[in-house]
Amino acid sequence: MAGLNINEMLIVTEAPHTRGKNTTSGIMLDVIIALIPALIAGIIVFGFRSLVLTAVCMVSAVAFEWTWCKILKKPSTVGDFSAALTGLLLALNLPVTMPYWMAICGSLFAIVVVKQFFGGIGHNFMNPALAARAFLLTSWAQAMTTWAVPFSNTSIFSGADAVTSATPLAQLAQTVDATSSATAVAESAAKLPSYMDLFLGNIGGCIGEVSAVAILIGAAYLLARRVISIRIPGAYILTVAVLTFIFGGRDGFFTGDALYHVLSGGLLLGAFFMATDYVTTPYTKKGQIIFGVGCGVLTSVIRLYGGYPEGVSYSILLMNVVSPLIERYTVPKKYGAVKPEKGGAN
């Protein structure tokens, strides 16, 4: 074309001709960055083995993803960092004493069974890391509920020599257990960690869930970057706080220790990092609130009345399964929606 500096063939595509800066890998990387404070807290509290275990989980998750894509001759999706994130989340949901080979089994289950069997990223109906955690808990209950005492410095090579402790939630459950004697209750209550211990992480538990402050720093980063909205975690945490306050007390209604329930266990980690997983949660705004409330109700019921001291993972997994149903009933009202005319409905 005369005179003008134009490519021989102009690109002709449909509008829009410009794209936003969001990318899948950018989002996954943001979540990984946001989890670093929780990981650091875990390393400080439980020692160097936390880091090694995390590396094992992440490397194995990425390796399984790569291998699967290779076997199926699909383009590799390792570059979107979703497998690395799954590995990291899985590690943060494990006790520091978890044998490495079991953790690798968890990665295999998360990546191959939960994610790739259903079509890879975007198609899994359950959070892979949480499903793997549930799988490990069923398979090796003992290993999954051995909690190292904070600052006991677990050996890198074997977790077996760790001094074990109870999680704050298990201890709390004892204090409100109606069948215990008064002295037993008093003893348990005296052993409960303080709010400050819960906040900073001086407690037993999974690697990533012990320090509330570390999790909140990461959550603030995700909110500021608009990777997540407050709808799901807000609804989730608020519901747990309200329900445990009403029903969680030994001395009748409205005497429960809501703050203790919010700060302890996997609630904060679950609410901000797992219940906000795009793939397995509703994409409608109303649906996200319902999802959060549903998780909160299930978690409270399991914690207060169930056989397990903790219920965050099962609550989120159960709500994952009903997400498509929630979406179906929360279709937003479109702009200019008109009431269906008589007989015009359906």
Q: Three-class SS of residue 165?
A: strand
Cα–Cα distance for residue pair 114/120, rounded to 1 Å: 9
Determine the Cα–Cα distance for residues 34 and 59; give it in Å rounded to an integer. 19
* Cα gap 336→7, rounded to integer Å: 44
Q: Which region, judged by CB under 8 A, interacts with another protein, from 96-104, 116-124, 215-223, 249-257?
A: 116-124
Site string (232-271) toward another protein, x via CB under 8 A: ----------------------------------------
Question: Distance between CA atoms of 316 and 128, rounded to whole angstroms?
Answer: 11
Site for another protein in 120-139 (CB under 8 A): 120-123
Q: What is the torsional sign of CA 166, 169, 172, 174?
A: negative
Q: Using alpha carbons only, how large is the chain's radius of gyration in Å?
A: 23
Q: Minimum distance between the CB of residue 229 and another protein, rounded to whole angstroms?
A: 8
Give yes or no for residue 24 binding another protein (CB under 8 A). yes
Query: Which residue, chain included where needed, has tokens 């319902």?
Result: 290
Select 1 or 224, whichever has its Cβ closest to another protein.
1
16 token code pair? 């829009």
Question: Element (H or E) spanning 224, and its range?
Answer: helix 212-224
- Using CB under 8 A, which of 72, 224, 337, 343 touches another protein? 337
State which residue, 120 or 311, has the beta carbon closest to another protein.
120
Which one among 33, 39, 43, 77 touches another protein, defined by CB under 8 A? 77
Cα distance between residue 237 and residue 315, in whole Å:
13
Q: Which is nearer to another protein, 145 or 330 (CB)?
A: 330
Q: In this structure, are residues 91 and 207 in contact, taking their beta carbons and an 8 Å threshold? A: yes
Q: 297 phi and psi, to 5 degrees? A: -65, -50
Min CB(102)–another protein separation in Å: 29
Site for another protein in 185-204 (CB under 8 A): none
| CA–CA separation, 61 and 103 (whole Å) | 10
What's the longest Cα–Cα distance across the chain? Answer: 95
Q: Which stretch binds another protein (CB under 8 A): 38-46, 242-250, 263-271, 327-335?
A: 327-335
Q: Is 73 in the site for another protein (CB under 8 A)?
A: no
Under the criterion CB under 8 A, does residue 20 sit at the interface with another protein? yes
Q: Which of 179, 333, 341, 342 binds another protein (CB under 8 A)?
A: 333
User: Taking contact as CB under 8 A, which single stretch among the options 19-27, 237-245, 252-260, 297-305 is the one that binds another protein?
Assistant: 19-27
The verdict on 336 binding another protein (CB under 8 A) reads yes
Amino acid letter, residue 76? S
Output the smallest distance, CB 264 to another protein, in A: 30
Q: Can residue 72 be called a binding residue for another protein (CB under 8 A)?
A: no
Binding mask 270-309 for another protein (x = CB under 8 A): --------xx--xxxx------------------------
Q: Which candidate, 253, 251, 239, 230, places its Cα nearest to that of 302?
A: 239
Question: Could you tell me if 86 and 115 are in contact, meaning their C-beta atoms sit under 8 angstroms apart?
Answer: yes
Which residues in this chain contact another protein in the complex, by CB under 8 A?
Answer: 1-7, 10-20, 22-24, 26-27, 75, 77, 80, 119-123, 278-279, 282-285, 331-338
